[in-house]
Structure 1
Amino acid sequence: MKIYKNIEDFIPIDNAVVTIGTFDGVHIGHQKILASLQESAKDIKGETVMLTFFPHPRMILHPEDDSLRLISTIEEKARHLAASGLDHLIITPFTREFSLQSPEDYIRDVLVSKIGLSKIVIGYDHRFGKDRTGSLTDLLAYSSLYGYSVQEISEQDINEVTVSSTKIREALIKGQIEIANNYLGYPYELTGSVVMGKQIGRDIGYPTANLHIEENYKLIPAYGIYAVEVSIVDDIQVKEGVFQSHDHTATFKGMGYIGTRPTVNGITRSIEVHLFDFNENLYGKSLQVKFLHFIRHDIRFDILEDMIKQIQEDERRIRELLNC
């Protein structure tokens, strides 16, 4: 898959089969649209193109609202789209100027002129253009004038999947990680760099790697203990415009913790992982953490020894769940 950081870098192609959207999470509903995209491209011997935007439009149009949290970082989204078989991913910066285009200007100047639109595959409820006034009706109305066809993913087809990015976010916030993973079609993940912590885990026999998540818009699941799979990864994602998958130098099973460490009077949120049967230095490395099972909520223990006993029980349960 080729990645373009601006639509101006894209050279229009013949028989471009296009879809547009945020595709946050690239969940099983999105995957249905992507499958239709692939089928359409195969039928006309074309290439698949997705146009997405970063930053998220809401970040630009409503900068005073800091509540937006996304399932995927832009790098995670790219990786899942590459796995779907997408040929071209255009990540163009969203600006206020861009948002002021009329539906016809958007269709003519962006989709047709800059991409080479031959066919568009779109959900029934997609909106675009100034004040989100553009819709499927506009795409159909201008299709003859600009020489492209339209395939609608119907409300019935989308609702059959009974999944949405909103439902996934709600499940993650509640700690319903298994539900979120079923909706996504893969384990929810966080990727971050290992930074120095307070080393409390080491003192109680459970050394942890403390993660710093660079993207402040990334959704962090509910506070608690999780069964996780942790990979040490290479940060390089793109080489000469072509997507390169993560190189996993090693993968381990372990325990994940999200919380404020109330037993030791912690205040700020901490994201930590303890890797089973591992004792090497991870400082400065990047870890990809896949959340597999929710074990329990974060609680405060009056006695440190009680917390250690509970962690030991958590480990026993997680090892049993992960068969390790």
Structure 2
Amino acid sequence: MPGPSIRFQSVLRSSMPHLPERSPLVIVVSHLDELTRREPVALTLGTFDGVHRGHRRIIERTVAVARDAGIPSVLMTFDPHPREVIGRQGDPTYLLTSIDERMTLLDGLELDACVVLPFTRDLSVLDAETFFEEYLLRRLNASHIVVGVDHAFGKGRSGSAPELQRLGQKHGIDISVVSQLLVEGIKVSSTTIRNALLSGAIRQANLFLGRPYALRGIVVRGDGVGSTLGFPTANIELTDDNKLLPRSGVYIVAVGFDGNRHYGIMNIGRRPTLSKQMHISVEVHIFITSGNLYGQSMQIALLDRLRDEIRFENREQLIGQIQTDIAFAKERIPKLETDYNNEQFSFFKE
């Protein structure tokens, strides 16, 4: 049951035209000065990249606190990701989820509102106490703040959980610090999941996420080599340049488009047998499909990893390996459908 209705004085989307209109859950502002909240809220804040199981544990606590107090539950996040603003000059920032994906995932978690604040250089230099007093208290009127044990905010990440507790005690604000979630003895975090994806451990990454890791993109024209091998592929151009690509290799995937869920195999890599291309490509062979797919938007959920990308001596060896990959994938899919239940596919846009 949602908490009390929540009203903010001003909502502007002009600073983030890429973020589509959604339910009243999403509130986008160009600066928190645009917000005036008179009634108290239960608040959690962070980047929430991936909206993984650890994040959801914090959000569930926030919603529970809000319901007990009879006040709205609010999540504040940032766009762009702080790493894109204060990271090393020239180094790319690869993320588990775009802001739009984050909002889609958060939309089903019973929060009363999500505030998306643009992260700027000016915001990055605010010390923790100023941010706490001016933004969390004066603008959002937080009466209870919920964070994870590793949470940090403010310049230089000086606002640790212990510092937040000190500020809460000083201002009479309740602070809840949620303990770290361990799965199979491993700390669940966005960094842990990124590392798992980069090493090809897709099942571990999915376990920590609580759902299959997914890519989004549009089918574009390739060189048609897949068709000459007898395995036509959809060449995918990702819609987000900052999306983290897992380790190169061959994956079993579910593909969502045209209102249906399809299955297939996907190759991420440079196709060493067929070309000397330097860039990484993403190609999907869908087992059952028909018609022209060019221009089609697709969502691709990575279910399992079959193997590394291999350079074969000739096309015949490559064709034989693809046939083996397809046969093994089709054999595995019924078990994977059981492993990833419908609830875990609830984010998936078919």
TM-score normalized by the length of structure 2: 0.82
- Of structures 1 and 2, the one with the larger relative CO (CA 8 A, separation 6+) is 1
Q: Give the distance between the partners of 2:106 and 2:157, measured in 1 at CA.
A: 25
Q: Give the distance between the partners of 1:314 and 1:279, measured in 2 at CA.
A: 21
Offset, 1:39? 0.9
Partner of 1:66 in structure 2?
91
Residue of 71, 82, 88 corresponding to 2:107 = 82
Partner of 1:3 in structure 2?
26
Distance 1:279 1:266, change over 3 A: farther
Offset, 1:314? 0.6
Offset, 1:148? 2.6
Paired amino acid for 2:270: T
* 1:258 partnered with 2:268: yes
1:14-29 equivalence runs, <5 A: 14-29=39-54
Most deviating of 67-76 and 186-195: 67-76
Distance 1:284 1:9, change over 3 A: farther
Deviations 1:159-181 (A, max 9, x none): 87731212111111111111111
1:140-219 equivalence runs, <5 A: 140-143=165-168, 146-155=171-180, 162-219=187-244
Confirm or deny: 8 A CA contact 1:37 1:121 kept in the other structure: yes
Deviations 1:178-227 (A, max 9, x none): 11111110000000111111111112221111111132221101111111
Q: Give the distance between the partners of 2:38 and 2:113, measured in 1 at CA.
A: 10
Paired amino acid for 1:89: C
Confirm or deny: 8 A CA contact 1:14 1:118 kept in the other structure: no
Q: Give the distance between the partners of 2:94 and 2:104, measured in 1 at CA.
A: 19
Partner of 1:301 in structure 2?
312
Paired amino acid for 2:26: I
**SS state of the match for residue 323, structure 2?**
helix
Deviations 1:253-299 (A, max 9, x none): 11111111111124121101111111221111210000001011111
Partner of 2:282 in structure 1?
271
**SS state of the match for residue 152, structure 2?**
coil
Residue of 70, 93, 116 corresponding to 2:141 = 116
Paired amino acid for 2:296: K
Confirm or deny: 8 A CA contact 2:253 2:265 kept in the other structure: yes
Residue of 211, 221, 232 corresponding to 2:246 = 221
Q: Give the distance between the partners of 2:302 and 2:213, measured in 1 at CA.
A: 6
Offset, 1:65? 4.1
* 1:127 partnered with 2:152: yes
Distance 1:51 1:194, change over 3 A: same
Q: Give the distance between the partners of 2:331 and 2:179, measured in 1 at CA.
A: 43
Confirm or deny: 8 A CA contact 2:84 2:92 kept in the other structure: no
Offset, 1:63? 5.1
Confirm or deny: 8 A CA contact 1:33 1:121 kept in the other structure: yes
**Structure 1 unaligned regions, length at least 5:** 233-247
**SS state of the match for residue 259, structure 2?**
strand
Distance 1:151 1:134, change over 3 A: same
Identical counterparts, % of pairs = 36
Partner of 2:343 in structure 1?
none
Most deviating of 119-128 and 5-14: 5-14
Offset, 1:96? 1.2
Q: Give the distance between the partners of 1:99 and 1:153, measured in 2 at CA.
A: 25
Runs of 4+ that moved beyond 4 A: 8-11, 144-147, 157-161
Residue of 322, 325, 337 corresponding to 1:314 = 325
Q: Give the distance between the partners of 2:47 and 2:186, measured in 1 at CA.
A: 18
**SS state of the match for residue 83, structure 1?**
coil
Deviations 1:94-136 (A, max 9, x none): 1111122222221121112221212100122322222222233
Paired amino acid for 1:206: F
Q: Give the distance between the partners of 2:186 and 2:39, measured in 1 at CA.
A: 32
Would you say how many aligned residue pairs link Structure 1 and Structure 2? 308
